[in-house]
Each structure stands twice: as C-alpha cells, then as structure tokens.
Chain A
Amino acid sequence: MNKQGAASKYADLIHSDGVAGSLYNDPDVFQEELKKIWYTTWVYVGHESEVPNTHDFVMKSIGLEPIIMTRGKDGEINLLVNTCTHRGNKLCTKPKGNARSFTCPYHSWTFASDGRLLGQAYPDGFKNVDKADLALGRVPRVASYGGFVFGSFAEEGPSLEEHLGGAKETIDRLLANSPSGEIEVTTGYLKHKVKGNWKLLVENETDGYHPGFVHASVFMVSDSRINELYGDKSTSLSRDYGNGHTEIDLRPEFRKRGEELSWFNTNKERLPEYVEQMKAAYGDEKARQIMIDGTPHVMIFPNLFIAEIQLFVIEPISVSETVQHVTAIQFKGSPDINRRLRQQTMGSVGPAGFLLADDSVMYERTHQGLKTRTGYRTYTGRGNHRERLDEDGYLVGDSTDDLPSRGIWKHYKSLMEAGK
C-alpha cells in the first residue's frame, strides 16, 4: 500500500470523536503498530535503579522484542536484544542478576554485558570472522530522563526530551515528591495478564470518567476519597501534552483541600520522618506545596503509566493480549513512606487488586464488544465543547472528559500514517 493509501485507511478509521473497533482487534493493524510505534518511537524499558551496579542485568522488552537491560563495565546502560546471534536461541533466561557475560546454552557462544561477542566454542572453526559483526543486536538509541530509561529502534528521530515534551514536567513533579529527588524500582513486579488490546489500557489510564463507576465498590468498603476527584463536580483536569502523552491533573482538588499528603489519603502525623526529610530538602513552604500537590497521574505513550504511587509498564503480547507489569514507586532513602507505597500498591493493583481486577474485566469485555462485525465505532466526544488551552498552551478538559483518548488517537494516527 502506498503512503497515500495508508493515510486514507487511518483517516477512515480514526475520527475526532471515535474510532473503528477493528483498530483493537485486526492482527494486521497490530503488525503495523509494531513497526510504526513499538519499533520506531521511544518506548519505556526500565529504571536505572533496576541495574544499580556494574554488570547488573534485568530482562525487559520492547514490543515483542526481548531485551536485556545491562549496566556495562563503563557504567553505561545497554539495551541488548536477548537473542543469540548464532542461531537465534534465547540467550539470558534469568529475570535479573549480575553477570560479566552471558553464555548461550545452545552452542556456548559468550557475550559481554555490553553485547560484544567474547568467545565461540571450538574457535578453530571460525576463519575470517569479525566478532564485531556478531555482537548482540542493540537498541540504537538509549536515553533516560529522571532515571527512566527509554529505547528507540529508530536510528534517527526526535530526541527523548523532544518526545516527552510537556510530559517531562510530570516526571519532575514525581521526583520532587522524593526528599532525595530520586525514585527507585526495587520491589519486584506484579505481572497481570488481560485478554484485551494494549490500547484499551493506554486509554483507560487517563480515563477519568470510569473510576466513579468501575471502582464504586472501593468507595463503598474503604475510606478512599477518590470519588471526589473523578466526579462530575471535580475541578481536576484532563490534559493532552501532545505526542500521545496524557494526564489527569488532580492538583486543583488537592489544593482545595490544602492538606499535606491528602493526595496519598494520609496526613503529616502518620509519616513524620518523610515530612521532616521533605522540609530539610526543600524548606517548609516549598515542601508544603509539593506535599499538597502530590505525584502525577500520567500516561507516557505508549507504555509507561505513572499512577501516583506505582508504575505500570504495558507490554503488548498480541493484538488481543496484554501484560501490565506493576511495581510500587519508592522514594530513595524514605522508608516510612515507602512502606505505605508498597502496601497501598499491593492492595490496589495486580490480579487480585481492589482496583485493577475490575479494570481488567472491563478491558476483556470491551475487547469482546469491539469485535462485532457491524462496523462498530467508539464514541470519544465527551467534553469536546469545553476543551480549552491552559497557561502553557496544552489542551485541557474536565477530568471526566474523553480528551485524553482524543489526544492518544490523534498521535496514533500521525504515527500510523507516517513511515513506510
């Protein structure tokens, strides 16, 4: 299909107030997404704190591609394709660890933690072979922002900072909530599988319309106050940063309350060490403002969701299957708040989570619903009459509006129409 044809295909499927159901379940669309999104744009891979020491490694992925994230002996982070260059065997089978080298169990080829081919078994059999040609495949562009490591399979393209654009500020906001200015990923992952297309998850992460309904049971049985944040009367905002990044900005509601740590459903008295650390780090007034505002609720396209207290990494498995990897955010050096971050994360997310099990059943039912052969089209026009620009020039709407979905699809369309 020529470029013109590709453009008109997506123009037929993606509209400003709804999209075709086939985009969620056409295997050809999924293959095209792998090429034009997952293997082109910046994709979140892992956090620097997951490989703190030289030769540390952790298994990750970009799209369907298995990746080993390593810290080489030069201290730099490498994103290597976890496939032996000899016959394609899976090289590393341990989820994480520390290793100077990886030896393929099939024919014993050995690679350094920076991907160089170190040795081949029975070396006399290799004449005129340049080992450099048989190094592990590597993600050509690796960059990090605030400790978040991203990779792009495109040799050229926008820088990571250009890609993140306005969403950079949400990562700054997250880090500001840590007295040390750093977060860590140290608590392992909950891996939660759903039979639904990955975009259903991306859209739901900043859908502020559903919490009052899907999560009504949580408001009924606990002292959660999140229904105030996502109701019809909420002053929270939805925001489109462009490049597919969207957020629900809850600060207007938290500022109305004006209580430190209300964003975390707790108070100063219950986390005294953290509060003292914040004051020492930022001074009383700035610490107070940060602790009122709290951490962000932002979906960094296509796969990193910073959900106030936890990180979600969205891994597409097939057109109809997705895994969400979830871990508690930890503020480096702040044990009292970290304990609460872990406890609250475990309660709310994962296969048995008070929130995520209910989201996941919605993903699965929605995925089934979108399979209908009647040419189904979603409706994403809620709030399009009240879109406005904020002081920084980003589109904002009410927290329950479909504005984030519209932003995600607009960017998606531009990616799918671009390229070959």
Chain B
Amino acid sequence: MSLAEINYSLLREVEQFLYLEARLADENRYRDWEALWADDGIYWVPANSGDIDPELEMSIIYDNRSRISVRVNQFLSGKRFAAQPEIQVRRVVSNVELLQDAGEEVRVGSNAIYFVSGETDDEMWGSRNEFTLRRVDGEFRIVRKNVVLVNAAKALPNLAFLI
C-alpha cells in the first residue's frame, strides 16, 4: 500500500481500535477484551520464529475462539496462580501501518513494547503484531492476532498476561 493510497480516516479508526485492545489487555479486563474477538478469531503467538507453520509446529499460544474463552475463563477462575498477584502491564503500540484494505477486512501491522511487573521481577517484552480486523455491525472484530515476540527463539519465562 503506497503512501498516496492510505485511507487516513480508516488508519485513525484502526489505531483507536488497537489502543482500545491494548488498554483492555493492560488492565486485565478479560471479558471486555474477549468481546473484541470475532466468532472465528485465531490468537497466535508462535514459538521460535514467525515463519513456523502453527498447524505443524509448537506455538506458545495458538487459540481458536473457544480456547480464547477457556483462557479468559482461567484468568477469571481465581486459581490462575501464574497471574496472581495480579500482573501489572503497560504497553506502547506504535508503527501502525495499514497492510491491506480488502473492504470488509483490514490487515494492520504494529510494534509493541510491554513493561510487565509480576510477583518478583519486572520484565520487558517486545513484539511485531499483525491483526486482521473485520467490520461486524459497524464495529471492528479481531479475526486474527499474530504476536511475533522479538525473543521468540529463546527460552522464555511465564507469559501469564494478555499479550
């Protein structure tokens, strides 16, 4: 998509959606966050590299819509010990680019840096994110969220927050 072709009003709208998604995740508003997903949503955090085939190789997260619900329900169960005491997160989402505007669906890329304060340690995480968003009744819904961690190839500590 060349600069001349950018639909700036769409870009602003998409950015606002990404910031909303980020804030709900930061604030552990699990149900509100879950409501952003389309019925056929896929949430993918590959292990090792973004080039793997998640149908054949291990991913850190490769959730279909029903597993996204299980994940959210586990956070809300009161017994997700990896997320207790509550993990504090703030992330910055930047470098937002429209990658493809196919009418009903929009593909958007961004970078994200996360400052995560868990029970003992403070951690930095970084990722390249790509969302596919679909308009459902005038609102964006997440059809696909890919989060490729900068350090995906390394051994990683617990990832017990919504990344």
A residues contacting B by CB (< 8 A) are: 95, 186-195, 214, 216-218, 220-222, 323, 326-328, 339, 342-343, 345-347, 350-352, 354, 357-358, 360-362, 364-365, 368
Contact = CB atoms under 8 A, between A and B. Distances in A.
Contacts of B110: none
Contacts of A362: 81
Contacts of B159: 351-352, 357
Nearest to A193: B155
Given A187-B58, A193-B155, A360 B47 contact: no
B62 A346 contact: yes
A352 B60 contact: yes
B45 A217 contact: no
Nearest to A354: B74
Contact of A188 (B52, B120, B157): B52
Given A357-B82, A358-B82, A217 B62 contact: no
Contacts of A358: 80-82
A191 B70 contact: no
Contacts of A346: 58-62
Given A190-B58, A190-B60, A360-B82, A351 B157 contact: yes
14 contacts: A187-B56, A188-B48, A188-B58, A189-B47, A190-B58, A191-B156, A192-B158, A193-B157, A217-B77, A326-B58, A327-B58, A342-B58, A343-B62, A351-B160
Contacts of A193: 155-157
Given A217-B77, A221-B77, A361-B119, A350 B82 contact: no
A194 B55 CA distance: 27
Nearest to A327: B58
A354 B155 CA distance: 18
Interface in B93-116: none
Given A190-B47, A191-B47, A214 B81 contact: yes
Contacts of A347: 63, 67, 70
- Residue among A191, A216, A351, A360 having the largest count of chain B Cβ atoms under 10 Å: A351
Contact of A187 (B57, B67, B82, B153): B57
A323 B155 CA distance: 7
Nearest to B63: A347
A188 B80 CA distance: 27
Contact of B58 (A218, A345, A360, A361): A345
Contact of B120 (A186, A221, A328, A364): A364
Interface string B42-58: 00010110001001111
Contacts of B82: 357-358, 360-361
Given A357-B158, A358-B81, A361-B119, A221 B74 contact: yes
A171 to B, nearest CB: 22
Given A188-B58, A221-B70, A352 B79 contact: no
Contacts of A216: 77, 79
A-B CB proximity, top 8 nearest: A357-B82, A191-B155, A217-B79, A221-B73, A351-B159, A217-B77, A193-B155, A188-B57
Nearest to A194: B157
B116 to A, nearest CB: 12
Contacts of A190: 47, 58, 60
Interface in B7-62: 45, 47-48, 52, 55-62
Contacts of B119: 361, 365
A216 B119 CA distance: 20
Nearest to B158: A357
A147 B78 CA distance: 42
Nearest to A214: B81
Nearest to B69: A221
Given A188-B57, A357-B160, 9 more contacts: A95-B153, A188-B47, A188-B52, A192-B158, A194-B158, A195-B157, A220-B74, A342-B56, A358-B80
A129 B121 CA distance: 52
Nearest to B76: A221
A214 B80 CA distance: 8
A218 B55 CA distance: 24
A191 B159 CA distance: 12
Contacts of B55: 339
A192 B80 contact: no
A361 B77 contact: no
A190 B149 CA distance: 13
Nearest to A364: B120
Contacts of B45: 352
B163 to A, nearest CB: 8
